[in-house]
């Protein structure tokens, strides 16, 4: 059977499973909509948390960035893995013990202020919408190739599916859907990795295979370094980023993880605090399977790609290349007019995306309007690395279709969690807690569902017009979370002296300066600099790493303001003392 037929079958079956679970587990109350009734087992919650955590950025984007950036891409691996450990050990049990549905709810009650709650709602919306843009782009990329539709149509299909089970089931439906999605995505990620590792090195364990020698006795990483340096690229195992930028990006990703509202809310779905700790441990194990495999897939993909396309006449190029070319995610222009593909350092095009002519070139290639001035003739969208890898390696069609289903599972599972954060921030934290406290449970539930509908529409827009590749867009969301939520949450747990004035001022300052920096150097909305050039960055820090600076600004402002304003009320200080009681110290831990 063809790839498209297999894709229709496998993706259709998985979508039917997700929708069936949503119908079976539909929410009947706000508690079920917000936190799945608080009755999810630690194992199921660990699976759901792993699926929630491993978004399209993990499944599609991370291996793509590592494949094309080499050593520099390791910041995403270190930051996202270390960040989850930080969240699981430092914050999750304490937040679960505090007993609030959402991060804005925690901040509003801990800082005894609706203003603080509103600032937290705004921050949650900023983070969630930025994050969900990457997921919707991932959905569009998958559909554009495997269902022969354009990226925009793919986004619309994904919007419809995720809206259905988020709208109907809330957190209850999302939780059990994410359990199924984790199983799909991890199977889809590991099967081709094992196949390719066996083909390349004879070792079935990808984590060991990419550090092993091939049949010629040369280590795979040494071979890739040689391929790249021969063509003028930096060696794959060498880095070009400054140590400062590596540190700040890694820290932003780690600290942002600990402030991500859609992950934190997962720890409220289990019955007890000890269950939150157990589910965090399970999730870390499930996450490690994918994260330790991603570097191997990156090495396999980059090696196979360079060996397949370099100096290959376009007329002899494999079918997979022309199929991806039809989506606009791969493009070639014959700059030296020799009919062969030259993949060299430098941008193949002037803009972020190629612009195509309606007609075809001499060899049947799509003609690019805005090609670059260098010698590189090949444009490759990084987000296709994982999806195209099985095709490049010549794996069976069912494996290729399985990877498509896995990419959709990763994107939709995280998108659903983010949409829930957006809807609950509006319905629970803004309307129920502030504007209409007497609203009935039924009306609040319908407001939450209507908010999810609006959120899907906005998310779809950002999916069609994203500010960058999946992983880089998601990295911006982590920076926003680090600069806004992380200091407020940590100081709310560990500092009895931190008051509402300090928390509010800190969140506004941290989020404000980070948004300004991203708008200036990533989106080009403000400022006159050539925003694509690193020499204009402040202190050499990229937009992806500036969330760390925003976090430090937040901490400094919060500390100074709290020092010169009144201490929190006694009852608030007692709450802070209470949530830090270690496990086993009393019956209070069970509530």
Centre a 10 Å sphere on the Cβ of residue 561 and count the other Cβ atoms it contains: 19
Beta bridge pairs of residue 379 = 331
Number of domains in the chain: 1
DSSP state of 366: E
Contact criterion met (CB below 8 Å) for 60 and 232: no
Q: What are the pLDDT digits (tens) for 309-363?
A: 888 998 888 888 888 887 778 888 888 888 898 888 888 887 666 777 777 878 8
523-539 in b/e form (b: 16+ CB < 10 A) is eeeeeeeebeeeeebee
Least confident piece of the model among 45-54, 222-231, 351-360: 351-360
Domain that holds residue 103: 3-301+395-435+443-468
| For the ranges 136-140, 308-312, 562-566, the one whose mean pLDDT is highest | 562-566
Q: Is the pLDDT of residue 33 over 50?
A: yes
Residue 368 covered by a domain: no
User: What is the pLDDT, as a whole number, of residue 564?
Assistant: 92
Average pLDDT, rounded, for the chain:
80
Q: Is the pLDDT of residue 221 over 50?
A: yes
Residue 428 covered by a domain: yes
Question: Which uninterrupted H or E stretch holds 360?
Answer: strand 356-360
**Straight-line distance from the first to the last Cα atom of the chain, in angstroms, rounded to the nearest whole number:** 55
Instruction: Report how far residue 37's alpha carbon sits from residue 24's, in angstroms, rounded to the nearest whole number.
Output: 15
Least confident piece of the model among 151-160, 258-267, 404-413, 446-455: 258-267
Give the β-pairing of 378-380 and 366-368: unpaired
Residue 103 covered by a domain: yes
Residue 272 class from Cβ within 10 Å (0-12 exposed, 13-18 middle, 19+ buried)?
middle
User: What is the pLDDT, as a whole number, of residue 218?
Assistant: 78
Tokens coding 50: 């792993």
Q: What is the mean pLDDT of residues 568-579?
A: 86
Residue 153 class from Cβ within 10 Å (0-12 exposed, 13-18 middle, 19+ buried)?
middle
Contact criterion met (CB below 8 Å) for 145 and 387: yes
Q: Which residues contact 373 (CB under 8 A, 6 or more apart)?
A: 350
- 3-class SS string, 367-407: EECCECCCCCCEEECHHHHHHHHHHHCCCCHHHHHHHHHHH
DSSP state of 331: E
Higher-pLDDT residue of 474 and 191 is 191
Coil, strand or helix at 355: coil
175-203 in b/e form (b: 16+ CB < 10 A) is bbbbbbbbbbbbebbbbbbbbbbeebbeb
Q: What is the mean pLDDT of residues 556-569?
A: 93
Least confident piece of the model among 57-66, 379-388, 494-503, 534-543: 57-66
Q: Is the pLDDT of residue 37 over 60?
A: no
Residue 347 covered by a domain: no
Residue 257 covered by a domain: yes
Tokens coding 205: 């364990």
- Residue among 133, 167, 116 nearest 61 (CA): 133
Q: What are the pLDDT digits (tens) for 486-523?
A: 899 889 888 889 999 999 999 999 989 998 888 888 76
Q: Is the pLDDT of residue 85 over 90?
A: no
Q: What are the pLDDT digits (tens) for 450-496?
A: 877 887 787 788 777 765 555 556 677 788 888 988 899 889 888 88
| For the ranges 2-11, 283-292, 574-583, the one whose mean pLDDT is highest | 283-292
Least confident piece of the model among 153-162, 378-387, 475-484, 485-494: 153-162
Q: Is the pLDDT of residue 551 over 90?
A: yes
**Residue 248 — pLDDT band, cuts 50, 70, 90?**
very high
**Residue 586 — pLDDT band, cuts 50, 70, 90?**
very low
User: What is the pLDDT, as a whole number, of residue 585?
Assistant: 44
Tokens coding 55: 């978004």
Residue 364 covered by a domain: no
Q: How many CA atoms lie within 13 A of 516 on its CB side?
A: 10
Instruction: Report how far residue 163's alpha carbon sits from residue 476's, in angstroms, rounded to the nearest whole number.
Output: 24
**Residue 549 — pLDDT band, cuts 50, 70, 90?**
very high
pTM, to two decimals? 0.78
Residue 154 covered by a domain: yes
User: What is the pLDDT, as a whole number, of residue 230?
Assistant: 83
Residue 322 covered by a domain: no
Higher-pLDDT residue of 498 and 54 is 498
User: What is the pLDDT, as a whole number, of residue 558?
Assistant: 95
| Cα-based distances in Å from 39 to 43, 125, 176, 560, 565 | 12, 27, 12, 41, 41
- Residue among 307, 379, 377 nearest 337 (CA): 377
- Residue among 370, 373, 378, 371 nearest 324 (CA): 378
User: What is the pLDDT, as a whole number, of residue 462?
Assistant: 74
User: What is the pLDDT, as a whole number, of residue 149?
Assistant: 73
Coil, strand or helix at 169: helix
Instruction: Report how far residue 24's alpha carbon sits from residue 19's, in angstroms, rounded to the nearest whole number.
Output: 9
**Residue 194 — pLDDT band, cuts 50, 70, 90?**
very high
Q: What is the mean pLDDT of residues 266-274?
A: 74
Q: Is the pLDDT of residue 134 over 50?
A: yes
Quickly tell me which residue has 């300052």 as its tokens.
509
Q: Is the pLDDT of residue 590 over 50?
A: no
Higher-pLDDT residue of 157 and 110 is 110
User: What is the pLDDT, as a whole number, of residue 588?
Assistant: 42
Instruction: Report how far residue 238's alpha carbon sits from residue 399's, in angstroms, rounded to the nearest whole number.
Output: 32
Residue 387, sorted as left (phi over 0), alpha (psi -120 to 50) or beta, turns out to be alpha
User: What is the pLDDT, as a whole number, of residue 499?
Assistant: 93
Residues of the chain with pLDDT > 90, as a percent, come to 8
Least confident piece of the model among 21-35, 362-376, 389-403: 21-35
Q: What is the DSSP string of 545-583?
A: THHHHHHHHHHHHHHHHHHTSPPPPHHHHHHHHHHTPPT
The CATH number of the domain where 125 resides is what?
Answer: 1.10.4160
Coil, strand or helix at 313: strand
Contact criterion met (CB below 8 Å) for 368 and 328: no
| Cα-based distances in Å from 112 to 492, 499, 564 | 11, 9, 18
């Amino acid at each position: 059977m063809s790839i498209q037929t297999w894709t229709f079958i496998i993706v259709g079956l998985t979508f039917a499973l997700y929708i069936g679970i949503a119908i079976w587990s539909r929410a009947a109350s706000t508690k079920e909509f917000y936190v799945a009734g608080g009755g999810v087992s630690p194992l199921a919650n660990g699976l759901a948390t792993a699926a929630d955590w491993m978004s399209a950025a993990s499944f599609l984007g991370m291996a793509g960035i590592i494949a094309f950036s080499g050593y520099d891409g390791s910041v995403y691996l270190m930051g996202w893995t270390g960040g989850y450990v930080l969240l699981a050990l430092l914050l999750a049990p304490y937040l679960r013990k505090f007993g609030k549905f959402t991060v804005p709810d925690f901040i509003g009650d801990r800082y005894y202020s609706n203003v603080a709650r509103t600032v937290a709602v705004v921050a949650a919306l900023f983070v969630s919408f930025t994050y969900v843009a990457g997921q919707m782009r991932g959905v569009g990329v998958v559909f554009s190739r495997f269902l022969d539709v354009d990226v925009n149509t793919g986004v619309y299909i994904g919007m419809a599916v995720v809206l259905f089970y988020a709208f109907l089931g809330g957190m209850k439906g999302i939780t059990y859907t994410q359990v199924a999605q984790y199983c799909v995505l991890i199977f889809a990620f590991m099967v081709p990795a094992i196949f390719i590792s066996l083909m390349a090195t004879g070792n079935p364990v990808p984590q060991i295979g990419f550090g092993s020698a091939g049949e010629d006795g040369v280590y795979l990483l040494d071979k890739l370094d040689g391929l790249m340096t021969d063509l003028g690229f930096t060696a794959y195992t060498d880095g070009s980023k400054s140590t400062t930028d590596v540190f700040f990006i890694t820290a932003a990703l780690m600290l942002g993880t600990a402030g991500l509202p859609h992950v934190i809310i997962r720890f409220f779905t289990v019955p007890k605090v000890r269950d939150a700790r157990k589910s965090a441990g399970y999730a870390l194990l499930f996450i490690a399977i994918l994260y330790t495999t991603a570097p191997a897939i990156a090495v396999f993909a980059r090696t196979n790609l360079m060996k397949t396309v370099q100096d290959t006449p376009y007329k002899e190029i494999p079918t997979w290349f022309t199929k991806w070319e039809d989506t606009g995610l791969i493009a070639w222009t014959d700059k030296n007019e020799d009919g062969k593909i030259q993949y060299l350092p430098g941008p193949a095009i002037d803009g972020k995306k190629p612009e195509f002519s309606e007609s075809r070139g001499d060899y049947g290639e799509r003609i690019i309007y805005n090609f670059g001035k260098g010698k590189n003739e090949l444009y490759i969208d990084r987000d296709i690395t994982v999806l195209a890898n099985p095709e490049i390696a010549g794996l069976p069609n069912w494996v290729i279709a399985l990877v498509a289903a896995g990419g959709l599972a990763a994107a939709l599972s995280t998108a659903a969690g983010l949409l829930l954060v957006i809807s609950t921030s509006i319905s629970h934290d803004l309307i129920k807690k502030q504007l209409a406290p007497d609203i009935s449970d039924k009306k609040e539930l319908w407001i939450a569902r209507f908010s999810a509908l609006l959120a899907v529409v906005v998310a779809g827009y950002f999916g069609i017009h994203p500010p960058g590749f999946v992983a880089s867009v998601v990295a911006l969301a982590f920076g926003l979370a680090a600069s806004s939520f992380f200091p407020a949450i940590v100081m709310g747990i560990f500092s009895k002296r931190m008051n509402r004035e300090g928390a509010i001022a800190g969140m506004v300052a941290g989020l404000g300066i980070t948004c300004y920096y991203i708008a200036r150097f990533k989106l080009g909305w403000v400022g006159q600099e050539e925003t694509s050039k690193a020499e204009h960055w402040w202190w050499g820090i990229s937009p992806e790493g500036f969330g760390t600076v925003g976090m430090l600004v937040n901490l400094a402002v919060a500390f100074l303001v709290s020092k010169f304003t009144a201490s929190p009320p006694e009852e608030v200080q007692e709450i802070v003392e209470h949530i830090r009681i270690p496990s086993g110290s009393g019956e209070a831990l069970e509530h």
